Amino acid sequence: MTRSAEVEALIDLFEAEADRDCPDAETPDVGIIMGSDSDLDTMYGAYEALSELGFEEVTDYDDPPESRFSFETFVISAHRTPELMYAYGETARERGLDVLVAGAGGKSADLPNMTASIAYPLPVIGVPVQEKSLDSVVGMPTGAPLVAVDAGKSFNAALSAVQILSRAHPELEDRLEAYHDGLQDGVGAVSARLHELGTERFREER
């Protein structure tokens, strides 16, 4: 099968980045990939989670963001661009990535599974974009691990990615704890306001 010029350029980009010897601080830590740009609304949760925890998105490898922690985002189809998927997975570790978040929809949601096999032993967190994708994403055989979240929960997938990274980076543990404390504070504030206003008024003002 003939590759398109766009796919060829991306494969060349991945391979070139794999050959560079860049410091860890200048390479993306998390890779977010999805099978189609139609999955972006669902996968946007991963972007939100990482951004909230202080990660910045890499859009130019020659001009990395100032943040110590960063991520990259690509559309890669397991079925339409298998060679691109292989190139991405095979070069992920050499390009400095430590964990991947992969989302795909439909009943044949193979991108997370295949990427986990190709990028092994790099951890991959699968995101079923739809409920019907769940069985495909979690159906990996023994010996070929893939961590997965519930359908549509890309925000949680990104949080899990940061949890993995935090074992080597205490400052990320601090950020995760601060985020969790914020959630607790939010629940406490809502509970107090519900009690103060009463159910009917709280519902009206919510």
Q: How many whole angstroms from its chain centre is CA 1?
A: 29
3-state secondary structure of 151: coil
Please report, as a single letter, which amino acid is at residue 145: P
Could you tell me if 145 and 100 are in contact, meaning their C-beta atoms sit under 8 angstroms apart?
Answer: no
Cis peptide before 141 (omega within 30 of 0): no
Whether 20 has a binding-site annotation, put simply, is no
H or E element: which one contains 78?
none
* Token reading at 183: 């959630």
Side-chain-facing half-sphere of 53: CA atoms under 13 Å: 29
| Paired tokens of 61 | 């490898």
Does residue 95 have a known ligand-binding role? Answer: no
Contact between 97 and 165 (Cβ < 8 Å): no
Query: Does 39 show up as a binding residue in the annotation?
Result: yes
How far is residue 101's CA from residue 30's CA, in Å, rounded to a whole number? 7
> Quick one: DSSP state of residue 38?
G
Show binding-site residues for substrate.
Answer: 36, 39, 80
Show binding-site residues.
Answer: 36, 39, 80
